[in-house]
Structure 1
Amino acid sequence: MNSRSSLSIGGAVALLQNEFPDATISKIRFLETEGLIHPPRTKSGYREFGPADLERIRYILRQQRDHFLPLRVIKGRLSSWDRGQETVPAPPPGPPAAAYFATTARALTAAEAAESAGAPLDLIGELVKHGVLDPAQATPEARFDNDDVAVIRAAYRMVGHGLEARHLRAMRLGANREVDLFRQLTAALLRHATPSGRRQAGEMLADVAQAAREMQEAMVRSELRQVLDR
């Protein structure tokens, strides 16, 4: 390799930090240890990084940053790349975190929330009683936001078809299980509570929540189709 077109590991990290501020020498060494990169070495044993090596590292770091892919998945894609095979495209990004988590302050009274949802006021009491809404919202001082209104509106539609509020508790329990599962994905990012970590965690949670909703809808639709076909 022409030494004029190659960089030492320190020089490579300095260049990468323009796009990846968290890039470090130890991280690059770790990628090599894990078999994702294979920089050549000089006769003295020093690593050399050429344009192709740097582009490979950028690909790895982008997959981690933008798509939150684990290294084993990235390594599999790189193996296909090395064999000249077309790599599996990265999944399309989910909704922006800021838009997904946008909500109103809990400012609506129970009566206002019921009116906004087009539902009877006593339904809110039933939803709170059976744990579909937050039990803390049982007090006269309780306030509701637009997510609560969406829950009330959807519940009223299902009640109109013969379900009861107590039947809907299963949906709250299912949502809680999903949250517990997704929380594990972001534990490391949120542990240090840095702005960058919180941003990445928000993007990841918005994406997996959207994917979970699409998966659940597809599964339910498939099962209901079988109900109709019997």
Structure 2
Amino acid sequence: MADHEATELLPIGRVVAELRRAYPDVSHSSLRFLEREGLVVPHRTPGGHRLYAQHDLDRIRQIKAWQAQRLSLQEIRHRHAALRDLGAPGAVADRFLAAALAGDLARAARVVLDADELGMPLERLFGNVLRPALYAVGERWARGEVTVGQEKEVSE
């Protein structure tokens, strides 16, 4: 099953209606502009109508937040690419965990701060990066793979 079949796809009108609650300036034309600029790539029906997945709405919200910070389109493109290069939350969690367990707490903190500064939503940062990493530390402690001191350093 393709990714887009596993999630609900919304037509542009519903996306505009949903986003306008928080961002009154969102319109059909502003979404088409983001598409022309390569910042959002919606799915298409056989008839050519745009369909947006939840990750598209998340991306648009992030773009709107960056626009509110007065970032240029070039800066937004750069941040979007950097966020994409940051990797999936699981990869970020792995980097955090590796640094923390190596005793490099500054690097571990930098991993989290970089993700936050690039705009990883806090829900994803806490729920999909920190929580799984801390859970993994607890599991490793229970198996005797990390010391109490390591577990305490990482969890604080």
Inter-partner Cα distance in structure 2 for 1:41 and 1:48: 6
Shift of 1:88: 7.7
CA distance in 1, matches of 2:35, 2:115: 20
Q: Does residue 59 of structure 1 match 2:67?
A: no
Describe how 1:10-89 pairs up with structure 2 within 5 A. Answer: 10-65=13-68, 67-85=69-87, 89=117
Give the structure with higher Rg (CA): 1
Mapping 1:98-109, distance limit 5 Å: none
Q: Which has the higher strand share?
A: 2
* Structure 1: 5+ residue stretches without partners: 91-230
C-alpha root-mean-square deviation of aligned residues, in Å? 2.1
Q: Which amino acid aligns with 1:22?
A: D
SS, match of residue 78 in structure 2: helix
TM-score normalized with structure 2 length: 0.52
Residue 71 of structure 2 aligns to which amino acid in structure 1? L
Measure how far apart 1:76 and its partner are: 0.8
Question: Which ranges in structure 2 are unaligned for 5 or more consecutive residues?
Answer: 88-113, 119-156
Identity across the alignment (%): 36
Cα deviation for residue 62 of structure 1 reads 1.1
Distance 1:34 1:87 in 2: 24
TM-superposed deviation, 1:84: 3.2
Q: Spell out the pairing of 1:33-182 with structure 2 (5 A cutoff).
A: 33-65=36-68, 67-85=69-87, 89=117
| Count of residue correspondences | 89
Q: Tell me the TM-score normalised to structure 1 length.
A: 0.36
Q: For residues 54-89 of structure 1, give each alpha carbon's deviation from its aligned partner in whole angstroms, at most 9, with x where no partner exists.
A: 000000011112x11111101111112223355682
Q: Secondary structure at the match of 1:48?
A: strand
Distance 1:6 1:53 in 2: 10
Code of the residue aligned with 2:11 in structure 1: it is S
- Give me the whole-angstrom Cα distance separating, in 2, the residues matched to 1:75 and 1:9: 22
